Structure 1
Amino acid sequence: MEQTLTDERLAGEKEEKHPSSLYMLFFTEMWERFSYYGMRALLTLYLISEVSKGGLGWTSAQAGQLYGIYTGLVYVTPLIGGYLADKFLGYRWAVIIGGLLMALGHASLAVEPLPFFYAGLGLLIVGNGFFKPSISSMVGQLYPEGSKLKDSAYTIFYMGINLGAFLGSLICGYLGENIGWHYGFGAAGVGMVLGLAQFYIGRHRLGKIGLKPERKNVNVNNAPKEPLTKVERDRLVVVLTLSFFSILFWLAFEQAGSSMNIFAYKFTDRSIFGWEVPATWFQSINAFFIFTLAPFFSMLWVKLAKKNLDPSGPYKFAIGLVLLGLGFAVLVFGSLSIPQGAETAGVSMMWLVLAYLLHTMGELCLSPVGLSFVNKLSPARLIGVMFGVWFLASAIGNYIGGALAGMIDEMAKTQSMSSFFLIFVSIAFAAAFVLFLLSRRLVKLMHGVH
C-alpha cells in the first residue's frame, strides 16, 4: 500500500494531478466543518434569543465573550493535539479520537439542560484539538518536498472546508431558527459522524501516512540532539511573523459568527417576496463564495507559478488584509443610515453580501496559503507543533474578536454602527501597510521557498 501511494505521488507530479487520497481528506474535513460551522451559525443567536423562544436571553456582550472564549479555545487545543499526534498517536488516531469527542459534544448540545450545553462545548474544544492539526498535516504529506501542487492542494482542501460550512449553515441554521435550537445542534452531530465514518472507511488510501510514529530504541540520556539550522530558524521567523498578522486578520474576519451575525439578525432587512431569510443563512454566503472562487484562485496560483509571477506568501497575506478592510468599509457605508441608539433597522442585505464577497477573496489570499507555508517552512520534526502555533494565532484572534464583537450594542447606542465597523477597517489597513513594508525581508528569510 505504501508503494501504491508513492507511485500515485510520482504519477501525479508528472501529470500534474492530485492523488485520490486528497479527496478522501477533502470529504472528511467537509463533514467535520459541516458540524463546526452549523453549530457556530447557531451559537450567538441561541445565546441572545429570548428564553420564550428557546434561547438563553443573554446580552450581546455576554454572548460575544462566550463566543470568543469558545472559538479561541477551539484553536488553542491543536497546539497540544498536534504535539501528541507528532510524538505518540500518529495523525490517523488523532483524527479518529478527535472526531469521536466532537460527535459526543454535538450530541450533548442537542440535550436541553444547561450543564449539557457547557459539557458539549468542552468536548468540541478538546476534540478539535486532536482533529484539526492532524488532518491538515496529512494533506501536506501527500506531496514530495518542493511540489508545485501543494498550494493548489491546500486551496482544494480549503474548498472542502467551506462546502461543509455552506451546507452546515443552511441546514443546521434552518433547523435551529425554525424548529428548535437543539435540533440544529443535533444535525451538526450527524455531520460529524458521517465525516468520521468516511475517514475510517477510506484510511487505506493513505499508505503509511499518519500512522503512529516509530519508537527508536535510543538511550534518552545519550539521544542525539537536533538543533535548528540557520535556514530553519529564519524560516520559522517567517512562520511566526505571518502567524502574528493572521491574528489581526482573524479577529476581524471572525466577526462573521458574532457581530455580523447580530447585524444580520437585528439590523438587516431579510424579507424576500414576503419570506424572511434566516439570519444564520448569511454565514453560508462566505462559504458559497469560497467553493465557487477557490478553483479560480487555485488555477491562478498554478498559472502564475509557471510564469514565475506568483506573489510570495507575505504579499498574498497583505493583499488579503486589504480586501478584508474593504469589506468592512462596505459595512461602514451601508450602516450610515442606522440612527444612533437604534436597536433594530432594515438595512439592505446586499451590503452584507458584498462585504462577504470581499472577505472571501481576502481569505483565499491568506488562509490556504498560510496552511501551505506552515507545511513548507517548518522542519519535518516540528510540523505538527507549528500547525498548532498557526491555530494558536487563530485562537488569539478569535478571542479578541469575540471581545470586540460584544461592543456592538454599546457602540450603536453611544456612537454609531458605522463607528463599530470602522474599528476593523483601521486594523486591517494598518496591518496590510506594515506587512507590505516587511515582505521583502521576509522573502529573503524564506531561503528559496515560494
Structure 2
Amino acid sequence: MSQPSNWFGQPRGLTILFLTNMWEQFSYFGMRALLVYYMTTTLLFGQEKSSSIYGLYTAFAYFTPIIGGTIADRWLGKRRAVIIGATVMAAGHFMMAFEPAFYFALATIALGNGLFLPTLPSQINDLYTADDPRRPWAYNVYYVGVNVGAFLAPLVCGFLGETYGWHYGFAAAGVGMLAGLAIYLWGNRYLPSEAARQVLPPAKAGTHRGRDTVLLLLGIGLAVTIFRGAYEQIGNTFALWMRDDVDRVIDGVEVGASMFFSLNPLLVMVMTPLLLARWKKQAERGRELSVMHKMAVGALIVAASYLLVAGAEAFSGGGRAHWIWLLSYFLLFTLGELYILPNGLGVFARLAPPKLGATTVASWYLAIFTGSLLAGQVGRLWSHFGHAQFFVMLAAIASCAAVLLYLLDGPTKRVLAQAQARVADDLTDVPEGIARPQNA
C-alpha cells in the first residue's frame, strides 16, 4: 500500500515537478501570448504567414520530444535531460528579445523542449506504487501546475510586452524558465532515484509492448490530432478575433487582448478541484465515466465553446462582441480541456513500458505535433471564411474527434486492464536485488 506524504497529500516529488512545470509553462505561454501579435505588428508578417509560423513552431515544439524522450531513456536519463533542456530553452527565450535572432530563437526553444517536455511528467509514475489510488488523478494535479504558470504568463509577459515593448515580455519568459530550472535542481532529493526504479530485469523490459497497445495509442493520437486542429486556434485565429472583434472595455478601461489569456489557466485552477471532487463521488457510487468517455465529452464541450463564439459573431451583426461572450467561451473551453487533455496524458503514461516512460509520453506529444500542424493549416482559412462560419467549422472538427474517442472506449478499457494485470504479475515476480517502487 502507499505510504503517507507530508506535502498536500501527495508524494513530495510531485510538488517539485509541479513547480518546475509551472515556471516552464510560464515561459512557454508568456512567449505564446505575444507571438502572433509580435509577428503581425513588429515583423509585419501577413495573417496567413503568421498563422503558418505559429503552427509550425508549436508543432515542432511537440515533435522534438519524440527524439528527446528516446535520448533521455537510452543515454541521458530523465534528470540530466530536464536540466539540459531547461537551460537550452532559457537561452532561446532570451534570444527572442533580438529581432534578427527570431527564427533561431524559435528553433532553440523547440530543441530544448524536446529534452524537457517528455522527461518531466514521465517521472510522476515513479512516485507511486501500482496500487496507489492517487496515481490516476496525479496528472490532473500536475496539470494545475501547467495552468498556474499559464495564468501568470499573460499578466506579466503580456503586460510587459504590450506596455513597454515585446522584447521585455520575451525576456521575462526567459527568467521564468531559469526559475523552473532552479527549483528542479533544489528539489532533486525528493525525486526517485532512476537507478533504484529499475523494477524489471532487462529480459522483461519489452513485455508491456504489444500490438493492441500500439494500435490503441495510434487511435488516440489520431483523435487528439483532429481535436488539436480546433483547440490550438486559441493562440492563433482566436487571438486575432479577440483583439479585433471583441469590445474589451471594462469600466472605461480597455484591457489588453493578451491579458485575457489568463482566464483559461485561472479557470483551470478553480475548476480542477471541483471536477476531481465530482469524479471522486461518482467513483464511490460506481458512476464515474471511463477515461475515453471523459475525453469525448471534453471534445464536445470545446465544440460547444466555438459554437458560442459563432453565435457571438452573428449576434454582434458586424460590430464588436461584448467581452461577456469572451468570458463564457473561456468557461466552456476550459471545462472541455480538463476533461480531455490531462486524461489523455495519463493514459499514455499508464501504458508506458518499464525504462521507456519518456519515450511513451513523447508519443503523446507526437499527437500534439501533428495537431499543431493541422491547426496551422486550418488557421490559414481565417481570411477566406466569414468568422461565424470559421468557428462553426472548428466546432465540427472537435465533434469529429469526440466521435472517434467514444469509439475507442472499449479497446482502451481492455488494454488498460491488461497493462494493470501485467504490472501486478511483474511485481510478484521481481527477483531479489531488484528494487520495488516506493513512495518518495
Q: Which residue of 2 aligns with 1:38?
A: 30
Mapped contact 2:205–2:354 kept (Cα < 8 A): no
Partner Cα separation in structure 1 for residue 258 and residue 173 of structure 2: 14
Q: Which residue of 1 aligns with 2:63?
A: 76
Partner Cα separation in structure 2 for residue 426 and residue 257 of structure 1: 19
The one-letter code of the counterpart of 1:352 is: L
Mapped contact 1:86–1:213 kept (Cα < 8 A): no
Deviates most, 307-316 or 159-168: 307-316
| Secondary structure at 1:88 match in 2 | helix
Mapped contact 1:110–1:183 kept (Cα < 8 A): yes
Q: Which residue of 1 aligns with 2:40?
A: 48
Partner of residue 433 from structure 1, selected from 386, 403, 413: 403
What stretches of structure 1 of length at least 5 have no aligned partner? 1-6, 50-54, 217-222
Mapped contact 1:252–1:424 kept (Cα < 8 A): yes
Mapped contact 2:229–2:397 kept (Cα < 8 A): no
Mapped contact 1:44–1:64 kept (Cα < 8 A): yes
| Secondary structure at 2:417 match in 1 | coil
Q: TM-score, normalised by structure 2?
A: 0.89
Q: 1:333 to 1:102 in 2, by over 3 A?
A: same
1:192 aligns with 2:166: no
Offset of residue 300 of structure 1: 2.7
1:377 aligns with 2:351: yes
Q: Which residue of 1 aligns with 2:361?
A: 387
Partner Cα separation in structure 2 for residue 273 and residue 409 of structure 1: 32
Offset of residue 12 of structure 1: 4.4
Q: 1:275 to 1:150 in 2, by over 3 A?
A: same
Q: Pairwise mapping of residues 260-271 of structure 1 onto structure 2 (< 5 A)?
A: 260-271=238-249
Partner Cα separation in structure 2 for residue 122 and residue 28 of structure 1: 22
Partner of residue 3 from structure 2, selected from 7, 10, 15: 10
Q: 1:346 to 1:403 in 2, by over 3 A?
A: same
Partner of residue 327 from structure 1, selected from 292, 296, 305: 305
Mapped contact 1:90–1:211 kept (Cα < 8 A): no
Q: Which residue of 2 aligns with 1:220?
A: none
What stretches of structure 2 of length at least 5 have no aligned partner? 421-440
The one-letter code of the counterpart of 1:408 is: W
Q: Which residue of 2 aligns with 1:409?
A: 383
Identity of aligned residues (%): 34
The one-letter code of the counterpart of 2:119 is: S
Q: Which residue of 2 aligns with 1:3?
A: none
Partner of residue 342 from structure 2, selected from 368, 374, 386: 368
Partner Cα separation in structure 2 for residue 213 and residue 433 of structure 1: 39
Count of aligned residue pairs for this structure pair = 419
1:103 aligns with 2:98: no
Partner of residue 167 from structure 1, selected from 136, 139, 152: 152
Partner Cα separation in structure 2 for residue 296 and residue 378 of structure 1: 29
Mapped contact 1:234–1:446 kept (Cα < 8 A): no
Q: 1:296 to 1:236 in 2, by over 3 A?
A: farther
The one-letter code of the counterpart of 1:401 is: A
Q: Deviation digits for residues 107-135 of structure 1, max 9, x if unmatched?
A: 10112x32x11121111000111001000
Q: Which residue of 2 aligns with 1:119?
A: 104
Q: Which residue of 1 aligns with 2:213?
A: 235
The one-letter code of the counterpart of 1:88 is: W
Q: Which residue of 2 aligns with 1:203?
A: 188
Q: 1:449 to 1:331 in 2, by over 3 A?
A: farther
The one-letter code of the counterpart of 1:241 is: G
Offset of residue 430 of structure 1: 2.5
Deviates most, 191-200 or 141-150: 141-150
